[in-house]
């Protein structure tokens, strides 16, 4: 997936997500991203939401029992 660039302020304006929430998502790795936020951010940066989800979750694997 090609890396997209946009300012936090621009993404906040396009998505309606607060600038403080955008900052929290980018600065704190333990912050949980909501699916609604992922979808809106993907649209704001002109990316496919499914591809963004795959990129974010690429290290997740099912546990074998």
Query: Could you read off the pLDDT of 14-63 as tens digits, one per residue?
Result: 999 999 999 999 999 999 999 999 999 999 999 999 999 999 999 999 99
Phi, psi of 58 (to 5 degrees): -60, -25
User: What is the reported pLDDT for 45?
Assistant: 94
Residue 2's pLDDT band (cuts 50, 70, 90):
low
Q: 42 near 49, Cβ under 8 Å? A: yes
List the structure tokens of 27: 């600065």
Q: Tell me the pTM.
A: 0.83
Residue 32 has a pLDDT of 95
């Amino acid at each position: 997936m090609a890396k997209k660039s946009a300012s936090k302020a621009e993404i906040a304006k396009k998505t309606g997500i607060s600038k403080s929430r955008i900052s929290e998502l980018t600065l704190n790795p333990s912050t949980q991203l909501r699916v609604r936020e992922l979808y809106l951010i993907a649209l704001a940066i002109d990316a496919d939401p499914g591809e963004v989800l795959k990129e974010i979750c690429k290290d997740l694997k099912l546990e074998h029992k």
